[in-house]
Structure 1
Amino acid sequence: MAMVFRSSPLLWTRLVALIFSCVAFSVALYGAQLTHGTGDWCIFCWSFSFVGTLLVVLVELCGLQTRIPVSWKNFPITFACYASLLCLSASIIFPLYFLKGYSGRDEVMNCRIVSCVFSCLATVAYLSEVSLSKARPGEVSGYMATAPGLLKVCETFVACIIFVFINDPISYNQNAATKWCLAVYCICFILSAGIIVLCVAEWTGCLPFPFARFLSTYALLAVALYLSATIIWPLYKFDDKHGGTSHRQSSCGSMAGLCWWDKLLAIAVLTALNFILYLADLIYSARLVFVSA
């Protein structure tokens, strides 16, 4: 009970996130009539967040942290960060596909609005959990509770969104330059995801080299790779001289969600965003090396 009392702000934040995510997918399943495949993604975001948070709360209340085969310093905040990003993506995607231009029955619209509102509330709750769980200056904590660890989560999540957009429709087969961009996204995603797995599973000590120096070296490589993709992708997708399309078609305005040109633009923006994230990661990782030295 003492453990529960000490962690009460975090516990209550998790319970609130649990309720909000539960309401979001329950109402959507009850009466939102989500026929588009994107609705399945939103349901997954809310239900996955709910199930994971329920698991974390049960482990905390039962005091089973030492019996779980993962690092409990790293797993809860890693999951909370992913849950916040999942709910955020659902909060953006859901109104684009299911509220924009809908003129059906009022009860269906009401259910969709309720799901969207509680999705936004769940996002805020999970962001609050991350804020409460992250490492404070001078505090000893797991790597995933530090700024570089949280940046790794954001980097992998942004890459996943890029993969969705770049494959629907397939837009990387234009030439070798756009295939290079796909290679950049894949390489950086695999390495960042691998680092997260190593930290959550507490396998960093098994590496034959210092983990901190590996992080800074990888961050430098990722910055260089993403800088090239940030330049190449818009050059070959939006410059008419290189086979791109510089103007958005008028038909895009009447489509639900994002049309193919919008997805190309989204990939360009997300590539630039990941470049900034990796640049910040490099700065933090370099500081980590110097402080350790």
Structure 2
Amino acid sequence: MGYFFRLLQLLSTCVALSLVASESAWNADVSNWSMFIWCFCFAVTLLSLLVELCELHKSFSWSWDNFLITYTCFSALVCLSASIMYPIIYLQMLSYGTQRNHAIAATAFSCIASVAYAMDAVWTCVKTSEPFCSFIGLLKKLEITVACGIFAFISNTFLYTHQPALEWCVAVYSICFILGVISLLRQRCDCHKSLPSSRFVLGQTVLAVLLYTTAAVLWPLYQINEQFGGNPQRSNDVSCGAGYSVCIWDQQLAVAILTAINLLIYVVDLVISASRSEALPEGS
């Protein structure tokens, strides 16, 4: 099953980048980014497949399954971002014809790659014996990965420095990211044995859900709602006028989408952590 997922990932990313390259449909910043994502995922997946076929991973001192889960989670996220950003920003500017058809097909194969990477991560979690490769561990890694994607977009400080509410959103992303990293590190050392791990994780998840809920409301409210100084239409953003480059409005939309995705992941994490906490005996 693992080889099947690898082959599907190779096929979908290869077809996506080939369709775009065959019509030279990547003459913009956003399509360059999408092409880089597909090429990177294709190259690393091919390398990991060769490592498994040659059984080289058995000589590694670190967990190969843990690497696969981290990489597939990351690849699922970046392929999903390419599947969203490429058609939103670039596809709408193409006229009907072969180039547009190739771009639509490339978007479809990028979506297939996202699903293949996500299913691969779940499959690896199911079959591995790693202590932190459970479904909860997978969710924790997804939360951190999505946060990294958010940080990539908010690296432009012009997006939030003009509003205290938006600065609060950035603080939320930072706090939840730090707590998530601490949770991962605690699972990699013996320090979790001296603390009520289940209660700590549950409390951290509850806090993250509350904080991300505020960010999921405030970010689009102050960025897109015109009554709060936002810009509801991409065409009204002067930075979107030159070519197909990713402008401020695109970055604002991407952060809003990733915030909603991470909030959904935290909610699922909370439900599972709460159910596990109730199943534990008193004092655990």
- TM class, shorter-chain normalised? 0.7 to 0.9
Match of 1:205 in 2: 190
For residues 219-259 of structure 1, give each alpha carbon's deviation from its aligned partner in whole angstroms, at most 9, with x where no partner exists.
23322322332344355446667x4237547646x965876
Q: Given the alignment of the two structures, is residue 78 of structure 1 paired with residue 99 of structure 2, yes or no?
A: no
Where do 1:1-293 residues align within 5 Å?
9-103=1-95, 106=98, 108-109=99-100, 111-135=102-126, 141-146=130-135, 148-167=136-155, 170-193=158-181, 195-196=183-184, 198=185, 203-205=188-190, 209-210=194-195, 211-237=197-223, 243-245=228-230, 247-248=232-233, 251=236, 260=248, 263-264=251-252, 267-291=255-279, 293=284
* Residues 1:73 and 1:33: Cα distance change in structure 2 (over 3 Å): closer
Task: Provide the C-alpha distance between the structure 2 equivalents of 1:126 and 1:40, rounded to a whole number of angstroms.
Answer: 21
Task: Provide the C-alpha distance between the structure 1 equivalents of 2:107 and 2:221, rounded to a whole number of angstroms.
Answer: 36
Shift of 1:218: 2.1
Structure 1: tracts of 5 or more residues without a match: 1-8
Task: Provide the C-alpha distance between the structure 2 equivalents of 1:194 and 1:55, rounded to a whole number of angstroms.
Answer: 30
For 2:93, what is the secondary structure of its paired residue?
A: coil
Task: Provide the C-alpha distance between the structure 2 equivalents of 1:268 and 1:33, rounded to a whole number of angstroms.
Answer: 27
TM-score, normalised to structure 1, is 0.75
Shift of 1:80: 1.8
The one-letter code of the counterpart of 2:208 is A
TM-score, normalised to structure 2, is 0.77
Task: Provide the C-alpha distance between the structure 1 equivalents of 2:167 and 2:48, rounded to a whole number of angstroms.
Answer: 40
The one-letter code of the counterpart of 1:153 is K
Shift of 1:102: 1.2
For 1:170, what is the secondary structure of its paired residue?
A: helix
Shift of 1:163: 3.2
* Residues 1:156 and 1:274: Cα distance change in structure 2 (over 3 Å): same
For 1:162, what is the secondary structure of its paired residue?
A: helix
* Residues 1:51 and 1:209: Cα distance change in structure 2 (over 3 Å): farther
Shift of 1:13: 2.0
Task: Provide the C-alpha distance between the structure 2 equivalents of 1:130 and 1:239, rounded to a whole number of angstroms.
Answer: 37
* Residues 1:184 and 1:31: Cα distance change in structure 2 (over 3 Å): same
Shift of 1:189: 2.3
For residues 249-282 of structure 1, give each alpha carbon's deviation from its aligned partner in whole angstroms, at most 9, with x where no partner exists.
7646x96587645654554454344233223212
For 2:92, what is the secondary structure of its paired residue?
A: coil
Task: Provide the C-alpha distance between the structure 2 equivalents of 1:250 and 1:40, rounded to a whole number of angstroms.
Answer: 22
Task: Provide the C-alpha distance between the structure 1 equivalents of 2:12 and 2:54, rounded to a whole number of angstroms.
Answer: 23
Task: Provide the C-alpha distance between the structure 1 equivalents of 2:4 and 2:32, rounded to a whole number of angstroms.
Answer: 28
Aligned 8 A contact 1:239 1:245 in 2:
yes
Aligned 8 A contact 2:221 2:230 in 1:
no
Shift of 1:100: 1.6
Task: Provide the C-alpha distance between the structure 1 equivalents of 2:33 and 2:191, rounded to a whole number of angstroms.
Answer: 36
Task: Provide the C-alpha distance between the structure 1 equivalents of 2:16 and 2:209, rounded to a whole number of angstroms.
Answer: 37
* Matched positions, count: 276
Aligned 8 A contact 1:32 1:112 in 2:
no
Shift of 1:42: 0.9
The one-letter code of the counterpart of 2:204 is Y
- CA RMSD, Structure 1 to Structure 2 (Å): 3.6
